[in-house]
Structure 1
Amino acid sequence: MDITQNIKKEKVEVKEIDVKKIASKAIEIVALLILSAIFIFPFVWMLSTSVKNPQEMMQLPPTIIPKETVLENYSAAWNSGPFFRYLLNSIFVTGSILIIQFVVMVPAAYAFSKIKFKGEKILFGILLVGLMIPPQVTFLPVYMMMSKLGLINTYVPLIIPFMTTSFGIFLLRQNFMQISDEIIEAAKLDGASDLKIMFRIMVPMAKPAVITFILFNFIYHWNNYFWPLVMTNTDAIRTLPIGVALLKSSEGITAWNVIMAGNIILILPIILVYIFANKKVKEAFMYSGIK
């Protein structure tokens, strides 16, 4: 009898544990679905509005799935101004910033992590202070300097102030510090220069951090509205966020379908870059043996 009762108790306990696991998993899935819906809904609404006609756009209650798909909203947004020029400017400015930052960031992070030199702690402290200063604080002195040099409405003030990044150097430095010094010493014994060690050994081993930083930095500078707005006032130099913002004044406050179409054009490169970078980050983690 005792054995039978014990078996029954164990079965009851197992069932209770299974019920708790199922309930916990169900709550987790529901929570994830709710959070996903909160983040995805604005994009769905933007895409839906971008293909609506003016009448359906103002309809109450609003519809998620348009009754009629109006792709002409995209051509209206594209033809409302020199959008192709805005796109080329955004590609050139963002690409130049990322390339220059990478060239500056890697040697700086390598020096702070693997080379001992006089004043290292002071310089690193100044670097950390730079993390706390937003660009909006420095735009006025930078604007005055660029204005005196006659560089307003050129690519220079859109690129040069961002040629280095405190956060990027700090992030890469922390990753470089995790790499064993024996690897560097072995490379030097084989005759490798510091330049070769940085870009052939350190960067591949810190690939997840590098790709992640490039992804977030790309998103920031591609969407940057404030700085180009301050430093430019002609269409020849303006970037895509400025062009999208001008849709409101050119098309009118009620043409939200055209404005949303412009926003889809703006975020499409970000989505493509994210898809590409997401795959590369996974490959980088597999390469480095991190699971």
Structure 2
Amino acid sequence: MKLAFSRILLVVVALLWVGPYAWMVLTSLRTLPEIVAAPAWPLPKSIQFDAYREVLTAIPVGRYFLNTTVMAVAIALLQILLALPAGYALAKLHFVGKKVAFALVLACLLIPAQVTFVPVFSMLGPLGLVNTFAALVLPFGVSALGTFLVRQALLSVPDEMIEAARLDGASELRIVYGLLAPMLRPTLASLFLFSFVFHYNDYFWPLVMTTDDDVRTLPLAVALLREQGTGVRWHIVMAGNVILSLPVLALFAAVQKQILRAVTARVG
């Protein structure tokens, strides 16, 4: 009885999560007159792909997708590259001010990026980095969340393993990237996913830092679909959002095993 109730509850929760996305997909397959006539009825009378063809015609999806993917992947890799030694220092090294440094990392988790965009913009402007990929990537290269996750994962690694590596002549960098990084693969995969999804969908920072289509990202292009023509063409907007979401879904499908492994290790 309890098992059946648990499964029913899981199905209900899953429908609550999947429902909005399914509504978006079905709306993208309808025509605008259908949506205007019955906006609360998601099922299309006949499946239409005109909205997708119009999206692909209205904006250079390939260029925007490449810009967005390059930016999100570069940020995620840079965060992993820097979070590993930072988390290692906070978890395994002994130095004056270690607790203060960790407290500052936790404090950074409470500060939204919108609070810091004015000083960051003022710093990047004189350097000529506005409207470049560097302006989209460098401000997010250091991740407080990534440092915290790596530090917490390294607390479970025995100190004896690190000492043995040092006795074998391994440098600190070799220990961090050669020994510990493969052991933290589930945690790093989770960090990569969190970072990629957040920055792939980010609208605010690319809007502030870019003025040229050559470096603009896909969320900005999808938002511009609302402004074309008269009124909001919801089927076009929904089709654009479906296209925007597909790479994220593909990435999640690719790394879900690593995430489940990380969660299982945490619970265990």
Please state which band the TM-score falls in when normalised by the shorter chain. over 0.9
Taking the TM superposition and a 5 Å limit, the aligned residue runs for 1:249-288 are: 249-282=227-260
Partner of 1:202: 180
- Partner SS for 1:55: helix
Partner of 1:192: 170
Within the candidate set 83, 89, 98, 1:111 is matched to 89
Per-residue CA deviation, residues 174-227 of structure 1 (Å, 9 max, x unaligned), is 110110001111222222222222123212222222111111111100000111
- Partner SS for 1:34: helix
Partner of 1:154: 132
Output the CA distance in 2 between the equivalents of 1:141 and 1:85. 30
Taking the TM superposition and a 5 Å limit, the aligned residue runs for 1:1-291 are: 22=1, 24-60=2-38, 62-282=40-260
Identity %: 38
Count matched residues. Answer: 268
Output the CA distance in 1 between the equivalents of 2:31 and 2:253. 30
The structural deviation recorded for 1:46 is 0.4
Matched residue type, 1:101: Q
Output the CA distance in 2 between the equivalents of 1:281 and 1:34. 23
Could you tell me whether the CA contact under 8 Å between 2:187 and 2:262 is conserved in 1? no
Output the CA distance in 2 between the equivalents of 1:32 and 1:208. 25
Output the CA distance in 2 between the equivalents of 1:66 and 1:127. 49
Matched residue type, 1:184: I
What RMSD, in angstroms, separates the aligned Cα atoms of the two structures?
Answer: 2.1
Output the CA distance in 2 between the equivalents of 1:224 and 1:145. 21
Could you tell me whether the CA contact under 8 Å between 2:203 and 2:220 is conserved in 1? yes
Could you tell me whether the CA contact under 8 Å between 1:80 and 1:250 is conserved in 2? no
Partner of 1:6: none
Could you tell me whether the CA contact under 8 Å between 1:47 and 1:261 is conserved in 2? yes
The structural deviation recorded for 1:253 is 3.0
Output the CA distance in 2 between the equivalents of 1:122 and 1:162. 22
CA pair 128-283 structure 1, distance change in 2 beyond 3 A? closer
Output the CA distance in 2 between the equivalents of 1:274 and 1:265. 15
| Rg larger in structure | 1
CA pair 128-48 structure 1, distance change in 2 beyond 3 A? same
The structural deviation recorded for 1:283 is 5.9
The structural deviation recorded for 1:262 is 0.3
Per-residue CA deviation, residues 210-265 of structure 1 (Å, 9 max, x unaligned), is 11111111110000011111111221111011010000002443311111000001
The structural deviation recorded for 1:26 is 3.3
Matched residue type, 2:242: I
CA pair 289-239 structure 1, distance change in 2 beyond 3 A? closer
Q: Which moved more, 1:260-269 or 1:206-215?
A: 206-215
Could you tell me whether the CA contact under 8 Å between 2:136 and 2:205 is conserved in 1? yes
The structural deviation recorded for 1:151 is 2.1
The structural deviation recorded for 1:281 is 3.3
Q: Structure 2: 5+ residue runs without aligned partners?
A: none
Output the CA distance in 2 between the equivalents of 1:201 and 1:273. 26
Output the CA distance in 2 between the equivalents of 1:106 and 1:61. 49
The structural deviation recorded for 1:289 is 11
